[in-house]
Amino acid sequence: MKSRAAVAFAPGKPLEIVEIDVAPPRAGEVLVRITHTGVCHTDAFTLSGDDPEGVFPAVLGHEGGGVVVEVGEGVTTLKAGDHVIPLYTAECGKCKFCLSGKTNLCQAVRATQGKGLMPDGTTRFSYQGKPIYHYMGTSTFSEYTVVPEISLAKIDPQAPLEKVCLLGCGVTTGIGAVHNTAKVEPGATVAVFGLGGIGLAVIQGAVQAKAARILAIDMNPAKFDLARDMGATDVINPKDHDRPIQEVIVEMTDGGVDYSFECIGNVDVMRAALECCHKGWGESVIIGVAGAGKEIHTRPFQLVTGRVWRGSAFGGVKGRTQLPSMVQQAMRGEIRLDPFITHKLPLERINEAFDLMHEGKSIRTVIHF
Ligand code: NAD
Ligand code: AHE
Ligand code: ZN
Ligand code: ZN
């Protein structure tokens, strides 16, 4: 079938809106009509060429919502008409990772996913007879996409897809990192570095966890009003200080924070986020994605003296089992999605969503098809 899609033909180039060919779903696969998709910084990261797993040409996008059109052979848990959120972290329920009870990082389709391929090692997308690669197992920048059954969360059909698509990445990642990765407890002091979609979701999670103090840090002061609205108690611009920001935070918090979250992808900020943690117990969670070749640094003494460095992918959330209830929380207003949606654009204008992000003017642009 034909599908309108925004194709990344080469790194560093704007996406091109073209009509691609989408092959039918094979065994264990599902054809989904995407109705809405957010644009996450990770899409921009991969488009920039900094992603070691970036392959081109590809259909990017991983924060979508849609409706099942057709299921392939052997698919039993979904049928045409079901509403779904594609998952870049699958949940097969059978692999060593799924069975461990220790991680959400199902590996059932991860190897082929990282190469831009479906689990059988081929693509369902093509343009002018040449293959187009998939992205993160989701490729939500195409009106029609093919996704493994185990990479789809079935959600309440009453849920507004134009909003709950954000649970496909940003909002779930931030809220989940607070509850599943850091396990923030009531009364805690929390620092959040980077106030985009992820950082704001961390603030929302910290409020849910009843953190007593939430410090929100960004170089762009335009982000501070929304951070306060979301529940930040203090806003800090590193540009207003002439010493390392970790020193400022340690002083403000009587020795450091209980938990910090890096939501930028900057390895220098990752260091600051670790070093602003309290001696003896402070824990820092890396969420931001850093470019190829980047490495983190600190003095080992920071860890010897009790600080902990962690990382979090998709907020530690198991998508098929946990996302449906997060959708319900959003429908009940227990998870706020509206404040994240600063812009709405048709697919044809998707490059403007990237511009708005780079200019620091948007939190999330939701694309409609
Ligand atoms: P975003 O661009 O919307 O927000 C980033 C924010 O960081 C902006 O407000 C920007 O002003 C701020 N910032 C940039 N440099 C800074 C600095 N040196 N000091 C302080 N603030 C600074 O991005 P986003 O969509 O919120 O994504 C944030 C990061 O999280 C990205 O790296 C993205 O790839 C990553 N991410 C990871 C996961 C995961 O599962 N681990 C999921 C989603 C996104
Ligand atoms: N491909 C990159 C890593 C990208 C990355 O870290 N992705 C995050 C999700 S970002 C969503 O916006 C993630 O969940 N990673 C776990 C996984 O299995 O990919 C690289 O460096 O190679
Ligand atoms: Zn994302
Ligand atoms: Zn698995």
Look at residue 105 in the predicted model and tell me its pLDDT.
98
pLDDT confidence tier of residue 197, bands split at 50, 70 and 90: very high
Give the pairing type, strands 364-368 and 58-59.
unpaired
pLDDT confidence tier of residue 284, bands split at 50, 70 and 90: very high
* 312-332 pLDDT per residue, tens: 999 999 999 999 999 999 999
pLDDT confidence tier of residue 82, bands split at 50, 70 and 90: very high
Look at residue 49 in the predicted model and tell me its pLDDT.
97
- ipTM higher than threshold 0.90: yes
What percentage of residues in the chain have a pLDDT greater than 70?
A: 100
Residues marked active site are found at 40-42, 62-63, 92, 95, 98, 106, 110, 169, 364
Look at residue 302 in the predicted model and tell me its pLDDT.
98
The structure tokens listed for 351 are 């490059």
Around ion ligand 4, residues with a beta carbon closer than 5 Å are: 92, 95, 98, 106, 108
pLDDT confidence tier of residue 243, bands split at 50, 70 and 90: very high
Ligand 2 atom index nearest CA of 52: 22
Ligand 1 contacts CB of residue 314 (under 6 A)? yes
pLDDT confidence tier of residue 226, bands split at 50, 70 and 90: very high
Ligand 1 contacts CB of residue 220 (under 6 A)? yes
Report if pTM > 0.95: yes
* 160-181 pLDDT per residue, tens: 999 999 999 999 999 999 999 9
Q: Which CATH superfamily is domain 2-170+316-368 in?
A: Medium-chain alcohol dehydrogenases, catalytic domain (3.90.180.10)
Residue closest to 47 by CA, chosen among 88, 16, 85:
16
- What's the CATH number of domain 183-311, 1.10.240.10, 3.20.20.140, 3.40.50.720, 2.60.40.10? 3.40.50.720
Distance of CA 81 to the CA centre of its chain: 26
275 and 300 Cβ atoms separated by less than 8 Å: no
Question: CA 21 to CA 11: how far, in whole Å?
Answer: 22
Sole residue written with tokens 């048709």: 346
* 99-144 pLDDT per residue, tens: 999 999 999 999 999 999 999 999 999 999 999 999 999 999 999 9
What's the mean pLDDT in 9-22? 98
Residue 332 contacts by C-beta under 8 Å, 6 or more apart in sequence? none
224 alpha carbon, closest ligand: 1
Domain boundaries, the chain: 2-170+316-368, 183-311
Would you tell me how many other CB atoms lie within 10 Å of the CB of residue 275? 21
Q: Which residues line ligand 2 (CB under 6 A)?
A: 40, 42, 51-53, 89, 105, 110, 169, 289, 313-314
84 Cα–ligand 3 center, Å: 17
Question: CA 174 to CA 198: how far, in whole Å?
Answer: 5
28 half-sphere exposure, CB direction, 13 A CA radius:
10
Residue closest to 7 by CA, chosen among 89, 130, 189, 185:
130
Question: CA 63 to CA 169: how far, in whole Å?
Answer: 5
Same fold, 2-170+316-368 and 183-311: no
